[in-house]
Amino acid sequence: TTGAYLYELTCLSMCVFNDPIHGHMKLHPLLVRIINTPEFQRLRNIKQLGGAYFVYPGASHNRFEHSIGVGYLAGQLATSLKINQPELDISDQDVLCVQIAGLCHDLGHGPFSHLYDGLFISETEPKTKWKHEKASVDMFEYLVENNGLRRVMKEEYGLNTEGENENDLEFIKEMINRTENESVSNVTILAPQYKGRSKEKSFLYDIVSNKETGIDVDKFDYFARDCYHLGFQSNFDHKRFIMFARVCDVDGKKYICSRDKEAANLYDIFHTRHTIHRRACQHRVTKSVEIMIKDALLKANDEIKIEGSEGKLFSLSEAKGDMEAYVKLTDQVVEEISRSTSESLKDAREIIERIMTRKLYWCVGEAKLVSMAFTITMDYGMENTDPISKTYFYKKTKPDRAFKIPKAKVSMLLPEYFSETILRVYWKNPEDGGKEKKKESFNQWCKENNYEVLLYSI
């Protein structure tokens, strides 16, 4: 048949990428077509761990290689389920769509990854609940149209790019930007039903971004990749998870489940995540650098203009709304500020110069509390909920029956709490003197308010 011929031809034209994490990765030619676009190549200039590179010299990796890794792992998991459970009726188009979603899930990140949406946009537009996933969908749409890939997807690779139901483009976009149930005044507002795939294939949505358990191929790649570049140890083996993954039906909904004997290993996922965040992403020097970069971007926000569609000019915070402008916004904006001679960028330039000469904002102290200062939340990815409590398992003897495993049955040594919130106070001008007085004041304040001081200075 034509479909079988196209599939065989596609397999013969697979491209191989050599990756330090996953070894030799075979990628579908359509994925390579997407990679070879300006919109995707932009990710080469966005650091995966933001300001952590200023603390860990090895953390030089970017969103580019992470995205390729996620696309590859998405295909590995989808293909494993397809082979092991033919009754699921997973098609080659399903696998390809899941791969594309994995590849493109981070297209919308701004300069220094989460610094842009987490620190910068939250300050320029405090009432806007903007997330990079929304921009990822916008950038994906722009990439497809700007590079003529809609026709390629349909005519060369058999994807359905038209209509409302079973539309492959809609399916990909839904996987990139998963909608969640929201709670307003203790009333749960259910997320709208997906259109890209039927209820029988709802489990496919959990491969790239699993909102129920947090166990997905996005984390599989960044745990392995981040630990590799940071020099950390990771005990979680994603290959083993993929090998044992199985889809089971629970009350009419299909879930990706794991073997019961893997329960303890799954806790390693979230322990690894917590370690990366505590030791790298939320490291006090990392946050000092990121706050300084954020301040520099705030100073430069209205001074640097980026040309977008129809010749319109956009500020750094506005660019996210126009993909023709946003594709030009990367970590290199810091270099642009540093090289500028404009008087209007003097303040921003001085902040960048301070970073480069290591004259950083000084961390006065750190304590366990919640207040209106700079707070850090470190958790296992599901706030204070035990993530494994939402995970389903199966037994070898009954592979089609899914069940949950209480934490106490896994180990008595597992944590009782799964998140903590701490407060840090940074002093922007420590060169003015008086560090000891600042530390004493912070220590005294904590003592009076019955809070435990965790840290006194850098």
The structural domains of the chain, with segments of one domain joined by +, span 2-177+192-426
Residue 148: its pLDDT value, please? 96
Residue 128: its pLDDT value, please? 86
Q: Give the chain's radius of gyration (CA, Å).
A: 23
Question: What is the residue whose two structure tokens read 């998870």?
Answer: 241
Cα 28 to Cα 12, 19, 36, 75, 84, distances in angstroms: 10, 16, 13, 9, 21
Does 132 participate in catalysis according to the annotation?
A: yes
Q: How do residues 103-116 score in pLDDT, each as one tens digit?
A: 999 999 999 999 99
Give 264 or 98, the one with higher predicted confidence.
98
Is pLDDT at 233 greater than 70 in this prediction?
yes
Cβ atoms within 10 Å of 365's Cβ, excluding its own = 22
Task: Name the catalytic one among 22, 66, 109, 132.
Answer: 132
Q: How do residues 138-183 score in pLDDT, each as one tens digit?
A: 999 999 999 999 999 999 999 999 876 669 999 999 999 987 644 3
pTM for this structure?
0.89
375 bridge partner residues: 423
218-243: average pLDDT? 95
Give 303 or 416, the one with higher predicted confidence.
303
Nearest to 243 by CA among 228, 265, 225: 265
CATH architecture of 2-177+192-426: Orthogonal Bundle (1.10)
